[in-house]
A and B are shown apart, each in its own frame.
Chain A
Amino acid sequence: KNEVEQSPQNLTAQEGEFITINCSYSVGISALHWLQQHPGGGIVSLFMLSSGKKKHGRLIATINIQEKHSSLHITASHPRDSAVYICAVNSNTGNQFYFGTGTSLTVIP
């Protein structure tokens, strides 16, 4: 049983398309994170949120605590957005992080 589920697993988009990646979780959380991982392994934190919505440039993250669901949106996608996007949650019963398996995004020029 995975505490964090992401969909889709793989996503291919044309440059300029609007992209949505979904994350559902089954544990109580204190925060949810969206992470970006490029080939070679480096992980960068994109967003940390516990309610509502955050925006950074072309990236938007939303969370619905009641539904235990979050979405990451990319507007006007670009080939440099190609990466694996990982959803992770802080459990509110300890200090564990639970990670989704990631969504591999490829944006084609």
Chain B
Amino acid sequence: DTGVSQNPRHKITKRGQNVTFRCDPISEHNRLYWYRQTLGQGPEFLTYFQNEAQLEKSRLLSDRFSAERPKGSFSTLEIQRTEQGDSAMYLCASSLYGVYEQYFGPGTRLTVT
């Protein structure tokens, strides 16, 4: 098991472009979480999945953000019409249902110019 992986690790994009990030959780984990972290702050919850079902979404997740986990394995987070305020580290984590410990990926750092 190689842990949680995220791709790409870094993404630079121009304002207005769409971006998509991928997260591959630990294989037997059925919960997957997305967080956003800006400089000097702790992570903020965005959304989470149990298997393929998206069970909770934060109010931070505007209409420009969409997340999917089509087969209950990997997940994608898409940001449409990016804005400079979207620049942040996007973190993915996974856990086993009923076990609270989360395992974090290395994150994708997004810079919107």
Question: At the interface, is chain B mostly helix, strand, loop or mixed?
Answer: strand
Please tell me if the beta carbons of B106 and A94 are within 8 angstroms of each other in the complex.
no
- A98: chain B residues at CB < 8 Å are 45
Q: Is the C-beta of A42 less than 8 angstroms from some C-beta in chain B?
A: yes
- B42→A94 contact, CB < 8 A: no
Chain A contact residues, majority secondary structure: strand
Q: Does A101 make an interface contact (CB < 8 A)?
A: yes
**Alpha-carbon distance between A98 and B45 when the two chains are bound, in angstroms:** 7
Interface residues on A, range: 20 to 34
Query: Which of the listed residues B43, B44, B107 has the most CB atoms from chain A within 10 Å of its own CB?
Result: B43
B101 to chain A, nearest CB (A): 5
Give the residue of B33, B42, B101, B109 whose beta carbon is less than 8 angstroms from that of A41.
B109
